[in-house]
Amino acid sequence: MAFRIQPKSLLRLSSRVTTQPRATSLAPRWSRTYATPTMEQQNRTAIVTGSSRGIGQAIALRLAHDGYDICITDVEANKAGVDDMVSQIKDIGRNAIGVTGDVSRLDEVQRMVQTSVDELGPLNTMVANAGIAQVKALLDLTEQDLKRMFEVNVFGVFNCYSTAAKQMIKQGSGGKLLGAASIVAFKPFALLSHYSASKWAVRGMTQAFAMEMAEHKITVNAYAPGIVGTAMWDLIDEELGKKKGAKKGDTIKKYSSELIALGRTSVPEDVAKTVSYLSSPDSDYMTGQTIVIDGGIIFT
């Protein structure tokens, strides 16, 4: 049965309906602020430790292409590489300075940060990349082996995080803290026990810093490379080969074919691309994470 409304009833009904004026614009419910300013807002600066070669070098070059002015740092023994990197970055059209020092020494890290701020301007991003590795069986490790590994890989990251954070808090504009972890921060490798332990510590410290720095608009994340074609992994390959009777290069080839889903060893630029993202405003809602870049060894 059809239901019909008489025209007079419809008129009476419509007269009771009140209409609200249509909004021509909606006021924003929240405002977006970046921990790291865009190029259009101001020049950005970054410190990259251990950046005279390897992954650190690739990171520094990528960040320079992204619009950063860079403070290149490494130990005194690598000063020639530091100077060369400064020249390369200036050729790109960005400003750069070189500072040598040992990240395991807090006073030297403090000097690095102060020099960078004095020469380049306010610090936006700290990349605590410097690290060491050693291939040695657990029962052969000495107290000094363990101590030096943690001095560089753990104390070094803490020194960089804490010193940069204090500078960023003083500036009052937030920032980015990034640390070098590794796939061994998720699954240790045999004969790399103390190296693995140091990278687990970096992962945990990154999470702890992320919690405490959030109120200051400072994000804290780590990147975890896999098997990379660098001098460090050449050493690991050589030493593992000695232990297992393999020729130089065979261990890396075996790992690449059997462990890496994508079937190739990483190059430093693979890691630098991820660090570029972690250094950009696009990652401002990410903190406390350790991002694996290993071609498919560890799945999280």
Q: Cite the active site residues.
A: 195, 199
- Residue in 29, 289, 284 with CA at minimum distance from that of residue 174: 284
Give CA angle at 166 (280, 131), nearest 5°. 65
Taking the C-alpha atoms of residue 193 and residue 276, their distance in angstroms, rounded to an integer, is 29
Taking the C-alpha atoms of residue 209 and residue 179, their distance in angstroms, rounded to an integer, is 11
Give backbone dihedrals phi and psi of 205, rounded to 5 degrees, phi first: -65, -35
Give the sign of the dihedral formed by CA 155, CA 133, CA 205, CA 146: negative
Q: How many residues does the chain have?
A: 300
Taking the C-alpha atoms of residue 45 and residue 68, their distance in angstroms, rounded to an integer, is 5
Torsion over CA of 239, 245, 248 and 253, rounded to 10 degrees? -100
Answer yes or no: are the C-beta atoms of 114 and 163 closer than 8 Å. Answer: no
